[in-house]
Amino acid sequence: MSKERVLTGIRPTGFLHLGNYFGATRNFLQMQQAYDCYVFVADWHSLTTHPDTKELQNSVRRVVAENIACGLNPDEITLYVQSDVPEISELYLYLNMLAYKGELEKTTTFKEKVRQHPDNVNAGLLTYPVLQAADILIHRAGKVPVGKDQEQHLEMARNFAQRFNFRYGAGEEILPEPQAFNYSGGELIKILSLDGNGKMSKSENAMNTIYLCDEADLLRKKIMKAKTDQGPAEPNSPKPDYIENLFTLMKLVSSADTVAKFETDYNNSSTGNVVIRYGDMKKQLAEDMVNFLQPIREKTNELLNNPEALGKVMQAGKDKARASAAETIRMVREAVGVKYY
């Protein structure tokens, strides 16, 4: 039986941080064997908001390297760069004929971007969801793991697929409608910014975000500065979210014994009898975080220092991705009717 195909795209903007890792990357790692996985770097998408391409090459290499360092196995899955697959842009063109200006203007992410960059409202930004639909439909992927912010894009991809099939398919499903992938069983882990203000991904301040490739000393400095308080007023108090966040991080990178010790200290603490020492807790968390991230950082740097080897990996990914994309484009062209000999 062939495996179900799951696809996801990553925009090459910035370094991977812990929120990305525990929120998305790690879940994907668990799917590599069970599914036919397609993971790509959405470099064309980044052009919609990043007109300056000076950093593009570095960013794209970094995303590929970091994901491999985290455990994505390019021999097992199809890992590629979007711009290496020109078939995507052709499908984007056909889908653009089926996407209406009105619905594109109503898209939440578009309205948000217009607000952020009123001086750069380009057509690529407007048709971002069409390109995303092309990314998915080009491999006829059945499932896409999506966070809340991407649900609308996935729904639009379903609409475009449906319209395509209706207009060109003559009753046949040329492009299957992709569904959201929900990680069964795995609870979703939310990591907050170290100052307790919102999600780690939303953090404005790099000092409140833990990047996978932060050097050991920087990691220590960031964690030691994380927000804490005087300690709980009563035994067994509920934890404020910034304290809960430290425990969340500890559960992810420290031993169960360590977590249990600090949990007990917390629960036994009250005003006048504060047993828990946040300084000690953060010191322990920092060391465990350093040990957890060290192999990822080393592997990333090893890959980045060998652009030739990294290039080979990307080329192999491109070949696999194009084989699948070419097959879809052949069906699409035939369905549309652009086939003259």
Q: Under the rule (CB under 6 A), what is the footprint of ligand TRP?
A: 7-9, 11, 42, 45, 132, 135-136, 144, 150, 153
Question: In sequence order, what are the residues at sequence separation of 6 or more whose Cβ sits closer than 8 angstroms to the Cβ of residue 143?
Answer: 4, 5, 6, 7, 35, 178, 179, 180, 181
Residue 45 C-beta: closest distance to ligand TRP, Å: 5
Burial class (CB in 10 A: 0-12, 13-18, 19+), 277: middle
Q: Which is nearer to ligand TRP, 46 or 248 (CB)?
A: 46
Q: Which is nearer to ligand TRP, 10 or 226 (CB)?
A: 10
Return binding residues for ATP: 11-13, 19-20, 147-149, 191, 199-203
- Residue closest to ligand TRP (Cβ): 9
Return binding residues: 11-13, 19-20, 135, 147-149, 191, 199-203
Residue 49 C-beta: closest distance to ligand TRP, Å: 10
Two tokens, residue 168: 């060109």
Q: Which is nearer to ligand TRP, 85 or 276 (CB)?
A: 85
d(C-alpha 173, C-alpha 175), whole Å: 6
Residue 116's Cβ-side half-sphere holds a number of Cα atoms within 13 Å equal to 11
d(C-alpha 297, C-alpha 294), whole Å: 5
The DSSP output letter for 237 is P
Residue 90 C-beta: closest distance to ligand TRP, Å: 16
Residue 136 C-beta: closest distance to ligand TRP, Å: 5
Q: Which is nearer to ligand TRP, 7 or 286 (CB)?
A: 7
Catalytically annotated residues? 113, 199, 202
* Helical H segments across the chain, by residue range: 18-20, 26-29, 43-47, 56-70, 86-96, 101-105, 108-116, 123-126, 128-137, 151-168, 216-224, 241-253, 256-267, 278-304, 307-336
Residue 40 C-beta: closest distance to ligand TRP, Å: 8
* DSSP assignment string, 169-236: STTS-SSPPPEEE--SSPPPP--B-TTSSSBGGG-S-GGGS-BTT--HHHHHHHHHTS---S--SSTT
Return binding residues for L-tryptophan: 135
Residue 24 C-beta: closest distance to ligand TRP, Å: 9
Q: Tell which residue, 194, 192, 189, 188, has the closest CA to residue 206.
A: 194
Q: Alpha carbon 47 to chain centroid distance?
A: 17
> Is residue 61 within 8 Å of 107, Cβ to Cβ?
no
Q: How many CB atoms lie within 10 A of CB 321?
A: 23
Q: Which is nearer to ligand TRP, 17 or 220 (CB)?
A: 17
Q: Which is nearer to ligand TRP, 8 or 245 (CB)?
A: 8
